[in-house]
């Protein structure tokens, strides 16, 4: 267990060190609200810890982002009556303690981050109160997730081969098969979906023909811009979206509670969508386009034409088609942000040196949805139903998380 007393002492050292710049009254740094600034900083830290340092898969990382953001919002809500300095200390401590619990290898970096945050809190009594509140919020979250079903070995995907059934690569396995059965982070009414199109249906044949033509690595139907979009959105969307929102809120700050509430709602909606989707992937196990195209002569659908040696533009992950995991990352995020700040919220997404700017969330969703078809990863039905799942889940989470 990391010593909070040691970290607070380190914060004091940061304040006293002559070579370290700290915010002063009248500086550009002090123009940004203390609490919301620290809250955004810790969202960047969570991104770094979970995805850059730990290398978590997007759906797995979504769980830990939700643990962190919900604990932070709990801390901010309880600390606000003690003033902004206490609330800022509470936010930093809650985020630090949750992340250290699940990512102990990042402990030293997180300790430094916390010391830097606490160094910005000038009132010692308020800092102490905030640290205690943040630590308690983290402890509540951590205790609530004991035996929550993460990494449960009982779930092993083993559907027998058949037309329409997804199969892992030879010698491989389904990624995160337990995710659909993990305890929820927030309790909402489940979203009902009608399931994937039967492989004998006309709707399936339409989706089949679309992805077969546009999703192949050597497609002559897909435009160069569509290719670029498909490849861009093959990067981790969780990292891109969170970074973009942090950049937005750094430039145009919200208050502390609106900031912590926004991230808590986004993360709760995203991970709730992932949980629902992974249960469908595990229980239905609907095949992906590359398997469908290879096995079209077995689907009993006269409207589908087999194509030998069909290879998708983007490498497929180790789980089934329905519903789209990428849709679970994108649509709840966009819906919470849309309902909070408006559809005309502009975001700049970055993947390495490449950037794409979106003036509206609808435009971002359009590209993100179609990217998975242009990349040969999904049938359109898996995308459309995934977006319905994400939007509806977001609406219900927003009503539950205050």
Give the CATH number, domain containing residue 200: 1.10.606.20
Residues 102 and 230 in one domain: no
Look at residue 252 in the predicted model and tell me its pLDDT. 94
Would 158 be classed as within a structural domain?
no
C-alpha to C-alpha distance for 292 and 32, rounded to whole angstroms: 53
Q: How confident is the model at residue 11 (pLDDT cuts 50, 70, 90)?
A: very low
C-alpha to C-alpha distance for 41 and 64, rounded to whole angstroms: 16
Look at residue 122 in the predicted model and tell me its pLDDT. 81
Q: How confident is the model at residue 30 (pLDDT cuts 50, 70, 90)?
A: very low
- Extract the runs of DSSP E, i.e. beta strands, from 154-305: none
Cα separations in angstroms, 27 against 21, 23, 30, 164, 221: 11, 7, 5, 62, 55
Question: Among residues 296, 190, 185, 238, which one has the least CA distance to residue 56?
Answer: 238
H or E stretch at 213 = helix 202-214
Q: Is the pLDDT assigned to residue 170 strictly greater than 90?
A: no
Reduced to 3 states, what is the DSSP secondary structure of residue 322? coil
| 4 vs 206 pLDDT, higher one | 206
Residues 351 and 281 in one domain: yes
Q: Is the pLDDT assigned to residue 8 strictly greater than 90?
A: no
Q: Is the pLDDT assigned to residue 350 strictly greater than 90?
A: yes
The mean pLDDT of 136-162, rounded to a whole number, is 98
Q: Is the pLDDT assigned to residue 1 strictly greater than 50?
A: no
Q: How confident is the model at residue 21 (pLDDT cuts 50, 70, 90)?
A: very low
**Residue percentage of the chain with pLDDT more than 90:** 90
The mean pLDDT of 154-164, rounded to a whole number, is 97
The mean pLDDT of 112-134, rounded to a whole number, is 94
Look at residue 7 in the predicted model and tell me its pLDDT. 54
Of 131-135, 284-288, 305-309, the one with minimum mean pLDDT is 305-309
Q: Is the pLDDT assigned to residue 16 strictly greater than 50?
A: no
Residues 184 and 45 in one domain: no
Residues 99 and 192 in one domain: no
The residues facing 355 across adjacent strands are: 350
The mean pLDDT of 21-31, rounded to a whole number, is 35
Chain centroid to Cα 285, Å, comes to 23
Residues 132 and 12 in one domain: yes
Residues 90 and 222 in one domain: no
Residue 114's CB: how many other CB atoms inside 10 A? 28
The mean pLDDT of 278-297, rounded to a whole number, is 98
Would 161 be classed as within a structural domain?
no
The mean pLDDT of 240-248, rounded to a whole number, is 98
Residues 241 and 138 in one domain: no
C-alpha to C-alpha distance for 190 and 68, rounded to whole angstroms: 23
The mean pLDDT of 309-330, rounded to a whole number, is 97
Number of domains in the chain: 2
C-alpha to C-alpha distance for 317 and 274, rounded to whole angstroms: 15
Q: Which residue has the tokens 């003690």?
A: 82
Largest CA distance in the chain: 77
Reduced to 3 states, what is the DSSP secondary structure of residue 265? helix
Residues 98 and 224 in one domain: no
Q: Are 233 and 369 in contact (CB under 8 A)?
A: no
Question: What is the domain range of residue 103?
Answer: 4-144
CA dihedral 383, 387, 389, 393 (to 10 degrees): 160
Mean pLDDT for the chain overall: 93
Q: Which two tokens stand for residue 15?
A: 């304040």
Question: Among residues 331, 294, 327, 302, which one has the least CA distance to residue 166?
Answer: 294
| Paired sense of beta strands 347-351 and 354-358, if any | antiparallel
Q: How confident is the model at residue 17 (pLDDT cuts 50, 70, 90)?
A: very low
Look at residue 33 in the predicted model and tell me its pLDDT. 83
Look at residue 171 in the predicted model and tell me its pLDDT. 86
Residues 311 and 188 in one domain: yes
Q: Cα dihedral sign for 48, 54, 55, 61?
A: negative
Would 163 be classed as within a structural domain?
no
Residues 140 and 265 in one domain: no
Q: Is the pLDDT assigned to residue 184 strictly greater than 80?
A: yes
Look at residue 249 in the predicted model and tell me its pLDDT. 97
**pLDDT tens per residue, range 192-222:** 999 999 999 999 999 999 999 999 999 999 9
Q: Are 166 and 287 in contact (CB under 8 A)?
A: yes
Q: Is the pLDDT assigned to residue 40 strictly greater than 70?
A: yes
Cα separations in angstroms, 266 against 66, 68, 195, 336: 8, 12, 25, 6
């Amino acid at each position: 267990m990391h010593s909070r007393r040691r970290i607070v002492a380190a914060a004091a050292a940061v304040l006293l060190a002559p070579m370290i710049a700290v915010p002063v009254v009248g500086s550009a740094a002090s123009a940004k609200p203390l609490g919301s600034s620290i809250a955004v900083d810790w969202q960047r830290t969570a991104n770094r810890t979970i995805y850059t340092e730990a290398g978590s898969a997007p759906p797995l990382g979504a769980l830990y982002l939700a643990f962190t953001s919900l604990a932070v919002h709990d801390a901010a809500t309880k600390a606000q009556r003690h003033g902004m300095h206490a609330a800022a200390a509470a936010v930093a401590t809650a985020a630090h303690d949750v992340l250290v619990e699940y990512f102990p290898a990042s402990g030293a970096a997180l300790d430094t981050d916390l010391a830097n945050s606490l160094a910005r809190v000038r009132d010692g009594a308020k800092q102490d109160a905030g640290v205690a509140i943040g630590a308690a919020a983290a402890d509540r979250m951590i205790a609530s997730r004991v035996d929550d079903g993460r990494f449960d070995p009982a779930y092993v995907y083993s559907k027998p081969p058949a037309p329409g059934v997804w199969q892992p690569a030879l010698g491989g396995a389904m990624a995160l098969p337990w995710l659909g059965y993990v305890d929820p982070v927030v309790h909402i009414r489940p979203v009902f979906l009608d399931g994937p199109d039967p492989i004998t249906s006309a709707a399936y044949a339409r989706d089949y023909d679309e992805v077969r033509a546009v999703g192949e690595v050597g497609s002559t139907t897909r435009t160069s811009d569509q290719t670029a979009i498909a490849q861009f959105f093959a990067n981790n969307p969780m990292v891109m979206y969170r970074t973009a929102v942090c950049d937005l809120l750094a430039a145009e700050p919200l208050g502390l509670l609106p900031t912590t509430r926004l991230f808590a709602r986004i993360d709760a909606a995203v991970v709730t969508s992932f949980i629902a989707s992974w249960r469908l992937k595990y229980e239905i196990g609907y095949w992906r386009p590359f398997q469908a195209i290879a096995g079209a002569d077995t689907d009993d659908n006269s409207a589908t034409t087999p194509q030998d040696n069909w290879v998708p533009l983007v490498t497929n992950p180790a789980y089934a088609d329905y519903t789209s995991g990428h849709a679970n990352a994108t649509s709840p995020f966009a819906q919470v942000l849309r309902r909070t700040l408006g559809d005309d919220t502009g975001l700049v997404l970055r993947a390495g040196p490449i950037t794409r700017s979106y003036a509206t969330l609808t435009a971002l969703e359009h590209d993100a949805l179609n990217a998975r078809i242009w990349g040969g990863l999904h049938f359109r039905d898996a995308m459309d139903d995934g977006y319905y799942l994400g939007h509806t889940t977001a609406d219900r989470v927003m009503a539950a998380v205050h």
